Structure 1
Amino acid sequence: MAQIITFLALSLLVLTLTLVQAQQHPVAPRRARSRARVFIESQCQTTLYPTLCVKCLSPYVPSFTKTLSHRQLAQIALKVTLVRAETTQAYINGVAQRLNRTKGPEARSVKECLDQINDGVDQLTKCIKEAQHIKEDGGSSSEFTWHASNVQTWMSTALTDASMCIDGISGRAIGGKTKALIKARVLNLQQVTSIALALFNRFAARFRAAHLLKP
């Protein structure tokens, strides 16, 4: 009986000390999401892959103390896509070099896929350079239309390049593991490119609605 009373007394003492410490050192509230983070999350909902979109773009949030403009977000998405394209290009190039000794159908299929990705990298590089000519306010209507049209055309071409690569390696010429690894990377690139195009299209649509449709 005495042992039970002692145990209860110790338990009560521990509980009292815990409550006192909690009052003296309250748990810090979670830091509110920045406006930039909220903006990215809301814009990503307009894409086909919102979760991937947030994952790719959220690392850039600390660079902005307040929020992002639609133009800035579109340009960031373009840069993220180019980096993804270049890493995919490097991977497929490595596979192509390993298979080059065989000169068989597998090597040819990978080489054709690499050609498509190489073209996609070129298209995305041109997109970024072209997008840099677009001013924060869009500039004049004719100037904006020219630059935006080029970006949209080249991004669509890069998206097609990724699709053609996937289609080209889907046959029986490539072994299961090699095919799966390439398709996974190119499919991810295709999705990221789709995200960037969607965000740029949204920026372009907002500009046109605000400027081109005015009487």
Structure 2
Amino acid sequence: MMIMIMIMITPISTTRSPSHTVDTNTQFIKTSCGITSYPDLCFTTLSSYASEVQNSPKLLATVALSETLKTVRFTSTAMSNMSKNRQDLTAREAEALSDCVEELGDSVEELHRSIEEMGTDKKKNDGSDFELRMSDIKTWVSAALTDEDTCVDGFSDKSMDGSEIKSAVREHIVNVAHMTSNALALVNHYALLHSD
């Protein structure tokens, strides 16, 4: 009788363990996203990486940067296609779109450099070397955010008020800027913790 009870209990306890781990990892992401300016967007973007990130602030910041980079690349392509395929653009809209594509290109480069620098972090994780790398990463991510803001500013001309193209660009760029802001917050958090 005792053997039967143990056999019945064992499968239940082993099926709970991985689920509990996933719940813990997901909770880690939810809690970490609470420090960002856009926690819902942060959680939606990063929660599917819970098992990969586990409870590592470094991995979470790196994944946030990678997801932001993907979104910036997608947005840059969308802006470029808009610029090429829309025949109804005014000269001012065409110029603003072209500038925006250029700004997003800079943003892609800065985010890419940040991700690479996060990867080199494994070599030496102590003292001023770590602080210098984190400072560089924060500078590049901040610059990417500035580039995205500059893109939106290009559409601030009153002549573009109410234009369909301005609304489309703004929708894309606001999302990208929010993701970049969240990534920067998670990088800052990791730098403060100074742990793997």
Fold match by TM threshold 0.5: yes
* Structure-2 change in CA distance of 1:205 and 1:101 (3 Å): same
- Runs of 5+ unmatched residues, structure 1: 1-28, 211-215
Give, in angstroms, the shift of residue 170 of structure 1: 2.5
Instruction: Give the helix-richer structure, 1 or 2.
Output: 2
Provide the aligned length of Structure 1 versus Structure 2.
Answer: 176
Q: What residue number does 1:131 align with?
A: 118
The CA RMSD measured in Å over matched residues stands at 2.1
Picking from 142, 154, 165, the partner of 1:178 is: 165
TM, length-normalised to structure 1: 0.75
Q: What residue number does 1:144 align with?
A: 130
* Matches of 2:96 and 2:110, distance apart in 1: 21
Identity among equivalent positions (%) equals 30
Matched residue SS, 2:36? coil
Q: What residue number does 1:53 align with?
A: 42
Contact 2:93 2:165 in 1 (8 A): no
Q: What residue number does 1:81 align with?
A: 68
Structure showing greater Rg? 1
* Structure-2 change in CA distance of 1:120 and 1:173 (3 Å): farther
* Matches of 2:129 and 2:93, distance apart in 1: 46
Q: State the Cα deviation string for residues 71-105 of structure 1 (Å, max 9, x = none).
A: 11111111011001101101001011124896712
Choose between structure 1 and 2 for higher RCO, CA contacts under 8 A separated by at least 6 residues: 2
Q: What residue number does 2:13 align with?
A: none
Picking from 120, 125, 134, the partner of 2:107 is: 120
* Matches of 1:55 and 1:48, distance apart in 2: 14
Give, in angstroms, the shift of residue 48 of structure 1: 0.5
- Runs of 5+ unmatched residues, structure 2: 1-15
Structure 1 residue runs of 4 or more that deviate by more than 3 Å after TM superposition: 99-103, 172-175
Give, in angstroms, the shift of residue 135 of structure 1: 2.1
Matched residue SS, 1:34? helix
* Matches of 2:147 and 2:48, distance apart in 1: 27
Picking from 32, 44, 56, the partner of 1:43 is: 32
Q: State the Cα deviation string for residues 157-194 of structure 1 (Å, max 9, x = none).
A: 00000111111113245462111111101000000000
